């Protein structure tokens, strides 16, 4: 099984290009099958979750042509089944977007219940409630774990989400774009990727207004058509490199980003003592000293993202004084703390709160990535640690970060992907 081996201690310096947003791409790929015409999508990240999503689409007859590493042409004309089945689909959460897309296009969808990162119970009641409101009366989970939704007709509805949910907001937009009449989604998620999916659907001929606010209004249209679209940059990939700069006392410019999407991340970095310089499509992070302590609570956008919680915890673990991190989105997102403790961190978790007594240094250790973002955060810890760190289960990290090790190496990090102990020994001999 592949691992990352890291020798810590080098400040990250230089520029890094950020790829397309994984979580926008997953929604956009699902949306692309809703027309019989061809859609061209650019800036698609080459990561594992996207590959699984494409595999699921191909399994029902979608034709996907890879133009280059980040550009695909998609045609959903020959879809021959509305049933997406198979164990592999459980590997990604966003497979449930195929319910919204197939229901919206064919009024019928059956998709294996999704898996994804194990960061909490992750119910889908809000998705199902919305599908039912739109006319899929049977929407629910049946048998051995299939989500089903069938409708004679889809009619616009007024849907009030009980909590802010990215997944349900996107899924209900997909299901509603071709429903008859008007749909209003209240308490909608405002994340940049929700807006990106809405913009993409509008380019396909949909009529969606208000994405990016908490009320989204959708007027159903008869059909959608082909288009060309470029996915927005990945807010979380950018934020991860920004924290990597902070933790290694580096100087990194993240390029090809939308600085507005990074404001909550930049604000926290400034609070902990980093300098931030923004330009039109880049943000530079300069860190010269040990981080300062602070408090942070994860919140839906524009709040501090839950997907950045492990990364900021790693930084605050090295801050002088006591910091408090409160997780308000997913109840099970501190699993990596045990691993960080093995590297010398002093963190106590009490339900959804981590109380962090900063230490002056981490020590390299053999650790396991428990999920995607925590895995990336542990790599960052390894970059700042004394000695060698080996991170197992990097398949989690590869679900959402393209060429993570290559990009870090280009910034001066000593990190390599290896297959076994021999690889680790070779790396140690090389870096000394
Ligand atoms: C999306 O997950 C992202 N995944 C997650 O990113 C991200 O952490 C999360 O949004 C929050 O920003 C994708 O976009 C594929 P939610 P999602 O629906 O849509 C509860 C990553 O690392 N809820 O916004 O599954 C839920 O339990 C991943 O890239 C219900 O109770 O999250 C959670 O507490 C990990 N019922 C909260 O809402 C529902 O029907 C927010 O979940 C739906 C959600």
* Pocket flag, ligand 1, residue 126 (CB < 6 Å): yes
Query: Boundaries of CATH 3.65.10.10 in the chain?
Result: 3-18+233-431, 22-230
pLDDT of residue 119: 62
Ligand 1 mean position to 118 CA, how many Å? Answer: 11
Please give the CATH number for the structural domain made up of 3-18+233-431.
Answer: 3.65.10.10
Ligand 1 mean position to 167 CA, how many Å? Answer: 6
Pocket probe mutation, ligand 1, options 149, 163, 171, 397, max atoms within 8 Å of Cβ:
163
Atom nearest to 191 CA in ligand 1: 12
Name which residue sits closest to atom 13 of ligand 1, judged by CA: 23
Name which residue sits closest to atom 41 of ligand 1, judged by CA: 165
Please give the CATH number for the structural domain made up of 22-230.
Answer: 3.65.10.10
Atom nearest to 170 CA in ligand 1: 19
Ligand 1 mean position to 422 CA, how many Å? Answer: 39
Q: What are phi and psi of 71, to 5 degrees?
A: -125, 130
List the chain pLDDT tens, one digit each, 432 residues.
Answer: 899 999 999 999 999 999 999 999 999 999 999 999 999 999 999 999 999 999 999 999 999 999 999 999 999 999 999 999 888 888 788 889 999 999 999 999 999 987 655 666 678 999 999 999 999 999 999 987 899 999 999 999 999 999 999 999 999 999 999 999 999 999 999 999 999 999 999 999 999 999 999 999 999 999 999 999 999 999 999 999 999 999 999 999 999 999 999 999 999 999 999 999 999 999 999 999 999 999 999 999 999 999 999 999 999 999 999 999 999 999 889 999 999 999 999 999 999 999 999 999 999 999 999 999 999 999 999 999 999 999 999 999 999 999 999 999 999 999 999 999 999 999 999 998
**Looking at 18-177, which runs of residues are DSSP E strands?**
38-42, 63-68, 71-75, 83-84, 108-112, 140-142, 146-150, 158-160
Q: Which residues are catalytic?
A: 117
Ligand 1 mean position to 225 CA, how many Å? Answer: 29
Pocket probe mutation, ligand 1, options 23, 99, 238, 264, max atoms within 8 Å of Cβ:
23
Token duo for residue 406: 């290559």
Q: Which is nearest to 214 in space by CA: 187, 239, 253, 234?
A: 187
Atom nearest to 124 CA in ligand 1: 40
pLDDT of residue 331: 80
Name which residue sits closest to atom 39 of ligand 1, judged by CA: 124
The reported pTM is 0.97
> CB within 8 A of 184, min separation 6: which ones?
156, 157, 158, 159, 215, 216, 217, 218
Name which residue sits closest to atom 30 of ligand 1, judged by CA: 123
Ligand 1 mean position to 425 CA, how many Å? Answer: 40
Ligand 1 mean position to 95 CA, how many Å? Answer: 13
pLDDT of residue 117: 59
- DSSP assigned state of 98: H
Atom nearest to 23 CA in ligand 1: 14
- Between the two ends of the chain, the Cα-to-Cα distance in Å is 24
Within 10 angstroms of residue 185's Cβ, the number of other Cβ atoms is 26
* Pocket flag, ligand 1, residue 122 (CB < 6 Å): yes
Atom nearest to 166 CA in ligand 1: 24
**165 SS3 class:** coil
pLDDT of residue 87: 80
């Amino acid at each position: 099984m592949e691992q990352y081996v890291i020798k810590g201690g080098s400040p990250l310096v230089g520029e890094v290009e950020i790829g397309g947003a994984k979580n926008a791409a997953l929604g956009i790929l699902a949306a692309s099958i809703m027309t019989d015409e061809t859609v061209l999508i650019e800036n698609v990240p080459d990561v594992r979750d996207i590959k699984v999503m494409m595999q699921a689409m191909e399994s029902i007859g979608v034709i996907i042509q890879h133009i280059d590493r980040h550009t695909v042409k998609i045609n959903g004309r020959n879809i021959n089944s509305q049933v997406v089945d198979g164990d592999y689909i459980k590997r990604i959460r966003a497979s449930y977007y195929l319910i919204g897309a197939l229901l919206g296009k064919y009024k019928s969808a059956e998709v294996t219940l999704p898996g994804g990162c194990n960061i909490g119970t992750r119910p889908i009641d809000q998705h199902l409630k919305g599908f039912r409101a739109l006319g899929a009366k049977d929407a629910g989970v049946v048998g051995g774990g299939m989500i089903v939704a069938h409708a004679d007709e889809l009619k616009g509805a007024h849907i009030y989400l009980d909590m802010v949910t990215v997944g349900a907001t996107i899924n209900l937009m997909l299901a509603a774009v071709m429903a008859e009449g008007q749909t209003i989604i209240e308490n909608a998620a405002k994340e940049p990727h929700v807006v990106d999916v809405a913009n993409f659907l509008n380019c396909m001929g949909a009529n969606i207004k208000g994405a990016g606010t908490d009320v989204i209004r959708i007027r159903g249209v008869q059909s959608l058509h082909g288009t060309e679209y470029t996915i927005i940059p990945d807010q979380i990939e950018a934020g991860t490199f920004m924290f990597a700069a902070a933790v290694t006392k580096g100087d990194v410019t993240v390029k090809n980003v939308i600085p507005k999407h990074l404001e909550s991340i930049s604000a926290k970095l400034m609070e902990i003592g980093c300098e931030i310089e923004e330009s039109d499509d880049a943000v530079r992070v300069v860190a010269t000293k040990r981080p300062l302590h602070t408090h942070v609570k994860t919140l839906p956008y524009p709040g501090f993202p839950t997907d950045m919680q492990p990364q900021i915890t790693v930084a605050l673990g090295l801050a002088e004084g006591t910091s408090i991190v409160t997780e308000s989105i997913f109840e099970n997102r501190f699993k990596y703390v045990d691993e960080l403790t093995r590297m010398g961190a002093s963190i106590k978790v009490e339900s959804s709160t981590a109380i962090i007594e900063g230490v002056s240094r981490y020590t390299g250790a053999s650790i396991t990535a428990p999920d995607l973002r925590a895995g990336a955060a542990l790599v960052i810890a390894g970059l700042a640690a004394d000695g060698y760190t080996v991170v197992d289960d990097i398949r989690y990290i590869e679900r959402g970060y393209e060429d993570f090790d290559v990009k870090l190496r280009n910034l001066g990090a000593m990190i390599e992907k290896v297959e076994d102990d021999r690889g680790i020994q070779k790396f140690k001999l090389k870096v000394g």
